[in-house]
């Protein structure tokens, strides 16, 4: 059940909803759960949440001319320009607070190829969780 909770928390943390999976990851690690399964649960949940953002970004543009659309055309174009400027490689940093979730959303609006999106986001998020667990192992070992 702990791994499922971490998966769900990781998923929610990667969507546009505010959440943090690192606290739960570290708490479960301190309880002695398998670091490999913790890494897998957090990485897969967080990556899947980013995939939802990509899909929403891909589908949302058909509504951009509606009055209720939450993002102005100028803001959307500015975000797309930034994404073009920094390129697909910027998705390796999709784990960053504040900019990471919108970055995955904008990748969807740009109709980025999903397979490339998935590889880059999975790699970035997996490395982030691996570093967190490695640092935790060193800190808690002392």
- pLDDT grade for 136, boundaries at 50, 70 and 90: very high
pLDDT in tens, 103-121: 999 999 999 999 999 999 9
Q: How confident is the model at residue 47 (pLDDT cuts 50, 70, 90)?
A: very high
Give the domain ranges of the chain.
2-65+82-141
- Residue from 72, 117, 56 nearest 91 by CA: 117
What integer pLDDT is reported at residue 16 of this predicted model?
A: 65
pLDDT in tens, 67-79: 877 777 788 888 8
55 backbone dihedrals φ, ψ, rounded to 5°: -65, -45
**pTM for the model:** 0.89
Do 47 and 97 meet the contact criterion of CB atoms below 8 Å apart?
A: no
In this structure, are residues 39 and 126 in contact, taking their beta carbons and an 8 Å threshold? yes
C-alpha to C-alpha distance for 136 and 59, rounded to whole angstroms: 39
């Amino acid at each position: 059940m702990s791994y499922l909770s971490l998966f769900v928390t990781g998923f929610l943390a990667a969507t546009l909803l505010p959440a943090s999976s690192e606290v739960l990851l570290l708490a479960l690690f301190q309880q002695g759960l398998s670091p490999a399964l913790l890494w897998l649960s957090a990485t897969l949940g967080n990556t899947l949440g980013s995939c939802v953002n990509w899909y929403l970004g891909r589908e949302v543009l058909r509504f951009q001319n509606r009055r209720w659309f939450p993002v102005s055309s100028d803001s959307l174009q500015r975000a797309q320009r930034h994404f073009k400027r920094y390129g697909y490689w910027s998705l390796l940093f999709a784990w960053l607070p504040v900019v990471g979730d919108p970055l995955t959303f904008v990748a969807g609006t740009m109709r980025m190829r999903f397979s490339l999106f998935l590889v880059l986001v999975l790699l970035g998020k997996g490395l982030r969780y691996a570093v967190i667990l490695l640092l935790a192992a060193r800190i808690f070992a002392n």
